[in-house]
Amino acid sequence: MLKKIIIGIFKPKFLFRWIVKSKAKSCKGKLSVNGFSTVNQNTHLGYNVNFNGMKITGKGKCVIGDNFHSGTSCQIMTDYHNYDCGTKIPYDNTVIVKDVIIEDNVWFGNNVIVLPGVSIGEGAVIQAGSVVVKDIPAMSVAGGHPAKVFKMRDIEHYNKLKEQKLLF
């Protein structure tokens, strides 16, 4: 009921942006949040970050570079349960913390999941429905479960657009 009242008072985009900005550790500016999104307190957002439904969880640091775009229902996790060396099975209440780094000009399709400890290089594109379990190099297009690189972007064309500041 309270959620309906709040949404009735505030436009959803304004409310969604406020939620993210109030929780993030830092935000360079120009943040667009078009779907309900939440971040952890160790999230650092670059300039021109665009969320369309993002959930960043865990105790680790999540750094997102400039001109990031996500599809709907995306998740980034920065910790996981200690199932190997814990004191109980299947796991205990301790977690393993690993930071996630996403460089500039990265684009996620819908329903992308990024697991703890992953770095995604500049200009990478992650296909919808992918689960990213290991580092993705710059300028690559990756997809699947687990996500694998299947194509490289045209670096010359990318750099030309970047030099001209033709950023979305």
- Residues 84 and 65: beta-carbon distance below 8 Å: no
- In the chain, the amino acid numbered 4 is K
Any catalytic annotation for residue 81?
Answer: yes
Contacts of residue 41, defined as CB under 8 A and 6 or more positions apart, other chains included, come to: 23, 24, 25
Instruction: Give the tokens for residue 56.
Output: 């960043």
Question: What angle do helix axes 12-23 and 2-9 make, rounded to 10 degrees?
Answer: 110
Tell me the two tokens of residue 71: 């599809």
List 50's β-bridge partners, or say none.
32, 69
Which residue of the set 44, 81, 145, 157 is catalytic? 81
3-state secondary structure (DSSP) of residue 132: strand
Q: Which residues are catalytic?
A: 81
